[in-house]
């Protein structure tokens, strides 16, 4: 770096915080800070709400939680007091005290802030309160926080080795005012603490917005981000820094914890190493792996159980689970019925062998017969229909849940986004389970992910390198195999059509007329959008799963079940 100004050594502490594990998160922060300090860093930036994990949701409403946050923050400051010259910036919630404004003024506002504190010399040197609270998509920050603006607080700027750093928290940096205030208060570098949930290609959007902010203010910008899974959201890491001209000069790796060093000067230069950003399929794959690993890890499950049908959805879930947990923590169960084709169990067994997971077969015909016999009197004179299809799915669900109860392992469900949208799944049947790995992955993307995975050199159980998903699983026509010669396309439009309509209507809120005007058949648009609307009740009973698009069937899809509105 050629500059007249001495650079400050900074580290971005990209930690995998666990919501509610205050002691564990403080330990991760202290370890990252000590590691960075030992290699020369004098400023360490941690992510938004890194002390609590993000989002802490209604834990914030409990006074005991807020008190524990205060205690843990002070203990962290004390613990690092021997690190000479170190400044650690940590995200945490803080309470609105009477000293910050009269009670009457805050009467209708939540009485806490989303804050960032500078810890140095065993003390809290300064605390900044977030000014822009996101309340769209998965965010609900208005429910919990007041803004620094409402409390009459302005910018917070602190100095390290003669360079002045201004604090911002995530959404702040997507707006003009907070950065402009920091600049006006003398900041020479912007520090942004973030919790920015992943969706495909979100990092492009982030880097573009932060580059624009840097150019607009003429200041370099340091972006510290979380990594890891929390219920339905995944944080992808890839913390970065842009110089004053908006060029990305340093980037931490995606989807793994890191303590990423960089240098920054008062005159806007930044230097560091640039980790690559994965392509779109790899991003989704790694988000799914991270989501599964952290959901099971943070909730203490010893392993996972998957109903393996010889179809593409359960094949994808199995491959993701093995990448996330290792083959010895995953088991597959094939449960053939009278309608299961030979190729289904041949391919299921082949895949389980390639991956080296425990594989069992439990035939469901005797149970299916027992149900039909027991119901025969009730069903006299009535034709076979989805009732019998659903009984098979429910027998499988019951068996998988029995294995879960007995072993403690969680059942991973295999429904994809196209199925969740259209209700092409059985309540208490294939929807039975604890975590819906691919519920935000449309069927066409399921295929692309399987093809991508097979192109990656993967070590198989026999030691050879090669594809882990048998080719026929990807090429055969999709079928629920719940009646003779059934295929998904008997009930649904082709998946290319279904998924395109789904993306326009559900993810992008396009009006039905606009979708038809874009060239889709009115009958297909009508069918898909009608199915989406009438199946809300099913989705509300589905397990949560990993969000990989900018709109998933989860926190960012809140439609009423009981509704007469049909547009």
Ligand X SMILES: Nc1ncnc2c1ncn2[C@@H]1O[C@H](COP(=O)(O)OP(=O)(O)OP(=O)(O)O)[C@@H](O)[C@H]1O
Ligand Y SMILES: Nc1ncnc2c1ncn2[C@@H]1O[C@H](COP(=O)(O)OP(=O)(O)OC[C@H]2O[C@@H]([n+]3cccc(C(=O)O)c3)[C@H](O)[C@@H]2O)[C@@H](O)[C@H]1O
Is 170 catalytic? The answer is yes
Q: How far is the CB of 432 from ligand Y (least distance, A)?
A: 11
Which of ligand X, ligand GLN, ligand Y, none sits in contact with 340, Cβ below 5 to 8 A by type?
ligand X
CA distance linking residue 423 with residue 530, whole number of Å: 11
CA distance linking residue 95 with residue 117, whole number of Å: 13
Longest CA–CA separation in the chain, Å: 91
Which CB sits closer to ligand X, 207 or 499? 499
Q: Which residues ranging from 380 to 419 are in contact with ligand X (CB under 6 A)?
A: 396, 414, 419
Which of ligand GLN, ligand X, ligand Y, none sits in contact with 421, Cβ below 5 to 8 A by type?
none
Binding mask 468-507 for ligand X (x = CB under 6 A): ----------x-xx--------------------------
Q: Does 480 bind ligand Y (CB under 6 A)?
A: yes
Per-position DSSP letters for 436-477, written without gaps between them: ETTTTS-HHHHHHHHHHHHHS--B-TTS-BS-SS-HHHHHSP
Which of ligand X, ligand Y, ligand GLN, none sits in contact with 48, Cβ below 5 to 8 A by type?
ligand GLN
Question: How many residues touch ligand X (CB under 6 A)?
Answer: 19
CA distance linking residue 494 with residue 479, whole number of Å: 13
Q: Which residues ranging from 90 to 119 are in contact with ligand GLN (CB under 6 A)?
A: none
Q: Which of 193, 277, 334, 531 binds ligand X (CB under 6 A)?
A: 334
Q: Which of 254, 330, 395, 425 binds ligand Y (CB under 6 A)?
A: 425
Detail the DSSP E strand segments found in 318-427. Answer: 330-334, 358-361, 410-413
The pairing of strands 43-45 and 8-14 is parallel
* 39 marked among binding-site residues: no
**C-beta separation of 112 from 60 below 8 A:** yes
Number of other CB atoms surrounding residue 472 within 10 Å: 13
CA distance linking residue 222 with residue 250, whole number of Å: 9
Q: Which of 195, 438, 449, 502 binds ligand GLN (CB under 6 A)?
A: 195
Is 130 catalytic? The answer is yes
CA distance linking residue 544 with residue 542, whole number of Å: 6
Q: Which residue is nearest to ligand X (CB)?
A: 311
Q: Which residues ranging from 497 to 556 are in contact with ligand Y (CB under 6 A)?
A: 537
**C-beta separation of 12 from 252 below 8 A:** yes
Q: Does 170 bind ligand GLN (CB under 6 A)?
A: yes
CA distance linking residue 317 with residue 433, whole number of Å: 13
Residues contacting 376, CB < 8 A, separation 6+: none
Binding window for ligand X (CB under 6 A); candidates: 95-103, 236-244, 289-297, 301-309: 301-309
Which of ligand X, ligand GLN, ligand Y, none sits in contact with 336, Cβ below 5 to 8 A by type?
ligand X
Is 48 catalytic? The answer is yes
- How far is CA 236 from each of CA 10, 95, 144, 291, 513, rounded to the nearest angstrom? 21, 29, 24, 10, 36
Which of ligand GLN, ligand X, ligand Y, none sits in contact with 52, Cβ below 5 to 8 A by type?
none
Packing angle between helix 280-299 and helix 312-325, nearest 10 degrees? Answer: 60
Q: How far is the CB of 49 from ligand GLN (least distance, A)?
A: 8
Q: Which residues are annotated as part of the binding site for ATP?
A: 307-314, 414
Binding site for ligand GLN (CB under 6 A): 48, 134, 170-171, 174, 195-196, 206
Residues marked as catalytic: 48, 130, 170
Instruction: Give the residue ranges of the annotated binding site.
Output: 136, 196, 202, 307-314, 390, 414, 419, 538
């Amino acid at each position: 770096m050629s500059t007249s100004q001495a650079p400050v050594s900074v580290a971005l502490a990209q930690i995998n915080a666990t919501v509610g594990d205050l002691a564990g998160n403080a330990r991760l922060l202290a370890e990252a800070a000590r590691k960075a300090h030992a290699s020369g860093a004098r400023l360490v930036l941690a992510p938004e709400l890194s002390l609590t994990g993000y989002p802490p949701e209604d834990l914030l409403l409990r006074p005991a939680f807020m008190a524990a946050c205060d205690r843990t923050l002070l203990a962290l400051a004390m613990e690092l007091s021997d690190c000479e010259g170190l400044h650690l910036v940590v995200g945490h919630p803080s309470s609105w005290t009477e000293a910050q404004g009269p009670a009457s003024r805050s009467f209708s506002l939540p009485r806490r802030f989303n804050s960032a504190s500078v810890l140095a010399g065993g003390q809290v040197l300064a605390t900044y309160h977030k000014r822009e609270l996101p309340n769209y998509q998965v965010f609900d920050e208005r429910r919990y926080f007041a803004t620094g603006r409402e409390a009459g607080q302005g910018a917070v700027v602190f100095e390290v080795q003669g360079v002045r750093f201004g604090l911002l928290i995530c959404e702040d940096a997507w707006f003009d005012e907070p950065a402009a205030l920091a600049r006006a208060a003398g900041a020479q570098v912007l520090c942004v603490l973030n919790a920015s949930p992943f969706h495909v290609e979100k990092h492009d959007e982030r880097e573009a917005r932060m580059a624009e902010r840097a150019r607009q203010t003429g200041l370099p910008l340091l972006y510290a981000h979380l990594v890891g899974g929390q219920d339905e959201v995944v944080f992808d890491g890839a913390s970065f820094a842009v110089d004053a001209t908006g060029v990305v000069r340093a980037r931490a790796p995606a989807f793994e914890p890191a303590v990423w060093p960089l240098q920054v000067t008062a005159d806007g230069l930044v230097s560091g190493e640039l980790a690559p950003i994965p392509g779109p399929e790899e991003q989704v794959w790694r988000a799914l792996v991270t989501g599964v690993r952290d959901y099971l890890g943070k909730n203490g499950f010893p392993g996972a159980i998957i109903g393996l049908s010889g179809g593409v959805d359960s094949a994808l879930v199995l491959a993701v689970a093995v990448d996330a947990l290792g083959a010895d923590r995953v088991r597959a169960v094939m449960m053939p019925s009278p309608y299961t084709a030979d190729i289904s169990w041949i391919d299921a067994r082949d895949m389980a062998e390639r991956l080296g997971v425990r594989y069992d077969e439990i035939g469901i015909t005797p149970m299916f017969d027992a149900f039909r016999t027991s119901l025969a009197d009730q069903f006299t004179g009535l034709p076979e229909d989805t009732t019998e299809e659903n009984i098979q799915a429910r027998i499988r669900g019951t068996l998988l849940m029995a294995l879960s109860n007995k072993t403690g392992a969680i059942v991973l469900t295999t429904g994809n986004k196209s199925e969740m949208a259209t209700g092409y799944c059985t309540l208490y049947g294939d929807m039975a389970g604890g975590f819906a790995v691919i519920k935000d992955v449309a069927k066409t993307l399921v295929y692309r992910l399987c093809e991508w995975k097979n192109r990656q050199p993967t070590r198989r159980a026999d030691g050879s390198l090669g594809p882990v998903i048998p080719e026929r699983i990807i090429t055969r026509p999709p079928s629920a195999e719940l009646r003779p010669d059934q295929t998904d396309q008997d009930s649904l439009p082709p998946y290319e059509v279904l998924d395109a309509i789904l993306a326009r209507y559900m993810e992008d809120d396009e009006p039905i007329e606009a979708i038809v005007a874009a060239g889709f058949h009115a009958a297909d648009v009508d069918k898909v959008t009608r199915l989406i609307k009438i199946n809300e009740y099913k989705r509300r009973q589905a397990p949560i799963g990993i969000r990989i698009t900018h709109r998933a069937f989860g926190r960012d899809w809140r439609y009423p079940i009981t509704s007469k509105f049909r547009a």
